[in-house]
């Protein structure tokens, strides 16, 4: 995350951050995966937990899926 984007997210109070996340989740812009991770980091930094889990869980990359699969 860039410093400018971090400052942008920190400019929101907790309620506005949740509203921003919900709006973006509904719209799902092309950069949603990046934004989802950035919002998760910011909410974790603040110690926020959303009841309806607005931010969801970022989808695992193919590399992560391969690592989880493992071999015996």
Percent of the chain whose predicted confidence (pLDDT) is above 90: 54
* 9 close to 17: Cβ distance less than 8 angstroms: yes
CA 48 to chain centre: 12
The answer to pTM > 0.85 is: no
Q: Average the pLDDT over 38-64 and give the result.
A: 70
Residue 66, C-beta contacts closer than 8 angstroms, at least 6 positions apart: none
Please give the DSSP secondary-structure letter assigned to residue 71.
-
What is the average pLDDT score of the chain? 79
Give the residue extent of every domain in the chain: 1-50
Q: Average the pLDDT over 40-62 and give the result.
A: 70
> Would the pLDDT of 23 be above 90?
yes
CA 44 to chain centre: 10
HSE-CB at 3 with a 13 A cutoff on CA atoms is 0
């Amino acid at each position: 995350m860039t410093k400018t984007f971090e400052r942008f997210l920190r400019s929101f109070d907790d309620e506005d951050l949740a509203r921003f996340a919900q709006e973006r989740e509904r719209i799902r812009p092309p950069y949603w995966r990046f934004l989802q991770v950035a919002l998760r980091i910011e909410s974790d930094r603040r110690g926020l937990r959303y009841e309806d889990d607005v931010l969801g869980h970022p989808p695992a990359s193919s590399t992560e899926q391969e690592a989880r699969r493992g071999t015996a």
